[in-house]
Amino acid sequence: MLKVYNSLGRKLQEFEPLHENSVGVYVCGPTVYGHSHIGHAKSYVSFDVIVRYLRYLGYNVRYVQNITDVGHLTDDADEGEDKVGVKARQMGVQPMEVAERYTRSYFEDMDALNVRRPDICPRATGHIPQQIKLVKTLLEKGHAYEVEGNVYFDVESFPDYGKLSGRSLDEMMEGVRVEARGEKRHPADFALWKKADEGHLMRWDSPWGIGFPGWHLECSVMSMEYIGPTLDIHGGGLENVFPHHDDEIAQSEAATGEPFVRYWLHNNMVTVNGQKMGKSLGNFITLKDAFAGLPPLERSVRPMVMRYFILTSHYRSPLDFSVEALEGAEKALQRIENTVGRVRRALEGAPAGEAPDEVTRLVDEARESFGTEMDNDFNTAGAIGVLNTFTRDVNRLLDAGEVLPREALEAVGGFYDELGGDVLGIITEETGRQAGGEVTGELVETLLEVRSRLREASQYELADTIRDRLEELGIEVQDGPEGPEWRFR
Ligand SMILES: [Zn+2]
């Protein structure tokens, strides 16, 4: 039985979708004014696995993730300039060129991370009439008011306001200067529609004059448009709980009178060497820089290694990026990849025959443990632990020298394909089959030959260095009567 941690109410709950067998998932997508960074990777890899696991369980999932190309202001609330608009001015191009360029960049990075594309990726600018319609409904129902071309949501008209973050209106008042209130009735009132100043690039006609939608509005509108008034799962980063998600709840529930979301799921943030990541701190890591080995990481990270690394921690835990941690992840993933390669190669010439009980039991038990971990609020860290233990056991079987029949290898290979591949997305068709696998073998042979010569010349210290370095790469060397033998650990 799948249990999920619901941020609304802050407890672990049994997962029951609104309609049997089908699940509607909405996750807040990127604001497309720059290249994606490692924080995006954590969020979208996490939700990718959540959706993959729901599908593995047999649910028919519709996964919607928006692209924010208008309305996200530089202060993340009601003030400042549009982030996409600012970038357009800096680059001297149209806002839609900025949005298009970084939307493509985002998908390039996600494809590299083996994140499956959501079923629908609606753009905010493509849904302006629907947003205007929701504002009209809120005005008609007395939950909003207009002041000179701006429309605000009246938080005092919605008694549940702040129920997700757990903030009361009084708490929200604290720290707000009286003059900051401006034309709002309550300082926590937020913009549904904003009047466009002269210099504002993106603007649309509306019943309240020329303007543009508030940032929170698009998520309510597009999620309900493609899923319905009640979503099963709404995901996003922890930093969006307040005000973004509290505002989405207020707008949607005030308009429809129905519960907006059954389960709110929030992923935690990333840090770099124990510090918060920020452009001003000089430790901001974009995915393109990380993959290419550019500063600040200065070590190229294979996208699949990043994906594996992200999944070694729970989505609700913070994740600390460091070169050491990524190197550790690389070795661990390589061990799995090497074993998958061994299994796939063994399958090619495997004799027919039934799987021995030992193998059947190993696969069944691993499958069950994997499910137990994932049923516990998508605990990918535990699931990866199961995969690692399974890999050790498979290597032990393969090392034992007994030739495994086809059925046994198929059961083992099936476990890797389905759980490591379909669910975690860290194993693909290519895993263990790359030409690199053979080159690696030849390189190891060459190094061992050099080592033998060094030993013949009594250069034991250098010879040992070669063995130690190979050991560090997960390659075990043993000297036998026939010369050195090696294997991946
Ligand atoms: Zn959103």
Q: Measure the CA–CA gap between 353 and 389, rounded to whole angstroms.
A: 25
Q: Measure the CA–CA gap between 360 and 239, rounded to whole angstroms.
A: 45
Q: Same domain, yes or no, for 15 and 105?
A: yes
Nearest to 86 by CA among 101, 105, 68, 73: 73
Q: Same domain, yes or no, for 65 and 182?
A: yes
User: How much distance in Å is there from the Cα of 236 to the middle of ligand 1?
Assistant: 7
In a domain, 350, yes or no: yes
Distances (CA, A) of 337 to 67, 108, 446, 478: 34, 23, 22, 22
Interacting residues of 78 by C-beta distance below 8 A, sequence separation 6+: 190, 191, 194, 214
User: How much distance in Å is there from the Cα of 80 to the middle of ligand 1?
Assistant: 18
Nearest to 332 by CA among 360, 373, 302, 368: 302
User: How much distance in Å is there from the Cα of 306 to the middle of ligand 1?
Assistant: 25
User: How much distance in Å is there from the Cα of 293 to the middle of ligand 1?
Assistant: 31
User: How much distance in Å is there from the Cα of 65 to the middle of ligand 1?
Assistant: 9
Provide the angle, in degrees to the nearest 10, between the axes of the packed helices 357-375 and 406-415.
Answer: 10
Nearest to 433 by CA among 343, 317, 325, 368: 343
User: How much distance in Å is there from the Cα of 174 to the middle of ligand 1?
Assistant: 25
Q: Identify the three-state secondary structure at position 349.
A: coil
pLDDT value, residue 435: 47
User: How much distance in Å is there from the Cα of 446 to the middle of ligand 1?
Assistant: 54
User: How much distance in Å is there from the Cα of 237 to the middle of ligand 1?
Assistant: 9
Domain boundary pick from 267, 298, 322? 267
The residue type at 78: D
The residue type at 138: L
Q: Measure the CA–CA gap between 223 and 277, rounded to whole angstroms.
A: 30
CATH code where residue 334 lies? 1.10.730
User: How much distance in Å is there from the Cα of 128 to the middle of ligand 1?
Assistant: 15
Q: Same domain, yes or no, for 393 and 480?
A: no
User: How much distance in Å is there from the Cα of 235 to the middle of ligand 1?
Assistant: 9
Nearest to 272 by CA among 243, 246, 297, 295: 297
User: How much distance in Å is there from the Cα of 247 to the middle of ligand 1?
Assistant: 10
CATH code where residue 74 lies? 3.40.50.620
Q: Same domain, yes or no, for 135 and 253?
A: yes
In a domain, 428, yes or no: no
Nearest to 125 by CA among 201, 208, 218: 218
Tell me whether residue 328 is exposed, middle or buried, using C-beta atoms within 10 angstroms of its C-beta: 0 to 12, 13 to 18, 19 or more. middle
Q: Same domain, yes or no, for 284 and 262?
A: no
pLDDT value, residue 178: 57
Tokens standing for residue 43: 């969020």
User: How much distance in Å is there from the Cα of 101 to the middle of ligand 1?
Assistant: 21
In a domain, 476, yes or no: yes
Q: Same domain, yes or no, for 239 and 328?
A: no
User: How much distance in Å is there from the Cα of 238 to the middle of ligand 1?
Assistant: 12
User: How much distance in Å is there from the Cα of 29 to the middle of ligand 1?
Assistant: 7
Q: Same domain, yes or no, for 213 and 105?
A: yes
Q: Same domain, yes or no, for 259 and 294?
A: no
User: How much distance in Å is there from the Cα of 435 to the middle of ligand 1?
Assistant: 43
Contact, 240 vs 233, CB < 8 A?
A: no
User: How much distance in Å is there from the Cα of 245 to the middle of ligand 1?
Assistant: 7
User: How much distance in Å is there from the Cα of 357 to the middle of ligand 1?
Assistant: 50
User: How much distance in Å is there from the Cα of 89 to the middle of ligand 1?
Assistant: 25
User: How much distance in Å is there from the Cα of 68 to the middle of ligand 1?
Assistant: 8
Q: Same domain, yes or no, for 402 and 451?
A: no
In a domain, 429, yes or no: no
In a domain, 351, yes or no: yes
User: How much distance in Å is there from the Cα of 455 to the middle of ligand 1?
Assistant: 64
Q: DSSP alpha helices (H): ranges in 207-322? A: 215-226, 246-256, 287-292, 303-311
User: How much distance in Å is there from the Cα of 334 to the middle of ligand 1?
Assistant: 36
Q: Identify the three-state secondary structure at position 264.
A: strand
Q: Same domain, yes or no, for 54 and 199?
A: yes
User: How much distance in Å is there from the Cα of 248 to the middle of ligand 1?
Assistant: 8
pLDDT value, residue 366: 98
- 470: domain range? 435-488
Per-run averaged pLDDT (10 residues), the chain, 489 residues = 97 97 97 96 98 98 96 79 91 95 98 98 97 98 97 96 92 66 89 92 95 95 98 97 96 98 98 92 94 90 97 98 95 95 92 94 98 98 98 94 92 98 97 64 82 90 88 79 74
Q: Same domain, yes or no, for 370 and 467?
A: no
Tally the domains of the chain: 3
Domain boundary pick from 403, 423, 443? 423
User: How much distance in Å is there from the Cα of 47 to the middle of ligand 1?
Assistant: 14
User: How much distance in Å is there from the Cα of 219 to the middle of ligand 1?
Assistant: 5
Q: Same domain, yes or no, for 249 and 279?
A: no
pLDDT value, residue 180: 60
User: How much distance in Å is there from the Cα of 459 to the middle of ligand 1?
Assistant: 63
Domain boundary pick from 423, 447, 464? 423
User: How much distance in Å is there from the Cα of 319 to the middle of ligand 1?
Assistant: 22
Tokens standing for residue 317: 């835990």
In a domain, 430, yes or no: no
Element (H, E) at 371: helix 357-375
User: How much distance in Å is there from the Cα of 398 to the middle of ligand 1?
Assistant: 49
Q: What is the pTM of this model?
A: 0.89
Distances (CA, A) of 253 to 182, 257, 375, 389: 26, 5, 30, 46
In a domain, 447, yes or no: yes
User: How much distance in Å is there from the Cα of 244 to the middle of ligand 1?
Assistant: 6
